[in-house]
Amino acid sequence: MNKTDRLLAILLELQRKDILRAEDLAAIFETSVRTIYRDIQALSESGVPIIGAPGIGYSLMEGYFLPPVSFSVEEAVALLIGTDFVEQKFDANYGIKAQASRRKIEAILPESVRREVSRVRTTIRLLAVGEGANLKEKTCLETLRLAILGKRKVRFGYSKRMPEDDGNRQSVRVVAPYGLVLIRGSWMLIGQCELRQQLRHFRLSRMDELIVLEERFQFPIDFNLQDYKQTDDRHVRVRILARSDIADKVKEANNFYMEAVEERADGLHVLFRVRQPEELLQWILGWGADMVVLEPESLRDRVRSEVEKMLKCY
């Protein structure tokens, strides 16, 4: 790293951290403490307001920010697409902030770069699917985001994917919300459910009557959203056979429960792992006669029963 690059890098480090010792900077940039002293002196002489406290370290004067950095065309396109994504998938408040960020990024681009960025962006588009569900998610998202930051429990009605034995799919949940995760384009809340007395996932699109409660909670010491992985309780194997001429469509469907696919002479063999075979029932029926359940027998019986019910409707 040459001196100019190192000076800029030191500035960025000081802007990111409240205070850094010369020894810290020397370790980061793999140089000597004496060189760091000279760099700090050079920055100070060029007008950068660096405050040095003996035995403590260096910091930038409060309120000092670097002038806008420059972006290549590819970097600018990546950032602007990122603002498009935030505006599309996050709540209204973040959407407004994304628009403001986009204007600021565009404002600092040189005219030649801005023209090229505009040209490249006309070739890329993010399309939202399921606008109704997307709007519902956005409505819940801001409420949940603020509840998480405020460590407040929430209550909501929830429509489960699979009904209980009595056919009921509706329930009311009180949850300590720990975090929000975007999985395959759908927002999920991860939190401690009082009804089930365990950590559960909830799709925002299946929530209604969401309210924030006055009751507060504390995050578990051992919980880290970035490291969290859902316990895999999918222990039931389902095998299906799809006709060869729809094999590409089945693969593209990328069903959440799909584990393995194998093309054979008689068609596409697909293995799924589910909690209950019925979780795949509607998906399988949607393929009509082009898909056959091989196992388990209980799911074959359910498909047969549903087909018989459908016949009575026509």
| The predicted structure's pLDDT at residue 178 | 96
The enclosing domain of 252 has a CATH number of 3.30.70
Does the pLDDT at position 139 exceed 90? no
- Reported as a pLDDT band with limits 50, 70 and 90, residue 133 is low
Residue 77 sits in the same domain as residue 38: no
The per-residue pLDDT for range 35-79, each reduced to its tens digit, is 999 999 998 888 888 998 888 899 888 776 655 567 888 888 999
Pairwise pLDDT comparison (302 vs 231), residue with the higher score: 302
Tell me the whole-structure pTM to 2 decimals: 0.66
Nearest to 181 by CA among 212, 221, 144: 144
Residue 255 sits in the same domain as residue 182: no
| The predicted structure's pLDDT at residue 128 | 67
Number of domains in the chain: 4
Hey, what are 251's tokens? 């693969």
Hey, what are 41's tokens? 């002196």
| The predicted structure's pLDDT at residue 272 | 96
Distance CA 247, CA 270 (A): 10
For residue 285, tell me if it sits in a domain.
Answer: yes
| The predicted structure's pLDDT at residue 163 | 67
Burial profile 97-108: b = 16 or more Cβ within 10 angstroms, e = fewer: ebeebbeebbee
Lowest mean pLDDT among 164-168, 226-230, 280-284: 164-168
- Reported as a pLDDT band with limits 50, 70 and 90, residue 216 is very high
| The predicted structure's pLDDT at residue 307 | 94
The enclosing domain of 23 has a CATH number of 1.10.10.10
Classified as helix, coil or strand, 31 is coil
Residue 163 sits in the same domain as residue 143: yes
Classified as helix, coil or strand, 162 is coil
Q: Pick the last residue of a domain from 60, 86, 101.
A: 60
Residue 39 sits in the same domain as residue 100: no
- Portion of the chain with pLDDT greater than 70, in percent: 94
For residue 160, tell me if it sits in a domain.
Answer: yes
Contact 154, 147 (CB under 8 A): yes
Average pLDDT of the segment spanning 163-190: 86
Average pLDDT of the segment spanning 163-192: 87
For residue 230, tell me if it sits in a domain.
Answer: no
| The predicted structure's pLDDT at residue 69 | 64
Residue 144 sits in the same domain as residue 212: yes
The per-residue pLDDT for range 2-41, each reduced to its tens digit, is 888 888 888 888 877 778 899 999 998 889 999 999 999 9
Residue 197 φ then ψ, to 5°:
55, 40
For residue 96, tell me if it sits in a domain.
Answer: yes
Task: Count the neighbouring beta carbons within 10 Å of the beta carbon of residue 191.
Answer: 24
| The predicted structure's pLDDT at residue 66 | 58
Nearest to 17 by CA among 45, 46, 9, 1: 9
Does the pLDDT at position 131 exceed 60? no
For residue 68, tell me if it sits in a domain.
Answer: no
Q: What is the dihedral of CA 81, 87, 90, 94, to 10 degrees?
A: 110
- Tell me the CA distances in angstroms from 240 to 47, 270, 284, 293, 307, one per residue in order: 70, 5, 9, 4, 17
The per-residue pLDDT for range 274-285, each reduced to its tens digit, is 988 988 999 999
Give 237's strand partners: 273
- Reported as a pLDDT band with limits 50, 70 and 90, residue 286 is very high
For residue 225, tell me if it sits in a domain.
Answer: no
Average pLDDT of the segment spanning 69-91: 86
The per-residue pLDDT for range 235-279, each reduced to its tens digit, is 899 999 999 999 999 999 888 899 999 999 999 999 999 988 988
Does the pLDDT at position 297 exceed 70? yes
| The predicted structure's pLDDT at residue 136 | 79
Q: Residue 162 belongs to what domain range?
A: 131-216
Nearest to 106 by CA among 14, 98, 33: 98
Residue 269 φ then ψ, to 5°:
-95, 130
Provide long-range contacts, Cβ within 8 A and 24+ apart, for 10-13: 10/36, 10/39, 10/40, 10/43, 11/43, 11/48, 11/60, 11/66, 12/66
The enclosing domain of 137 has a CATH number of 2.30.30
For residue 288, tell me if it sits in a domain.
Answer: yes
Pairwise pLDDT comparison (227 vs 215), residue with the higher score: 215
Does the pLDDT at position 132 exceed 60? no
Task: Count the neighbouring beta carbons within 10 Å of the beta carbon of residue 129.
Answer: 7
Residue 80 sits in the same domain as residue 139: no
Distance CA 24, CA 36 (A): 10
For residue 227, tell me if it sits in a domain.
Answer: no
Hey, what are 242's tokens? 């799809």
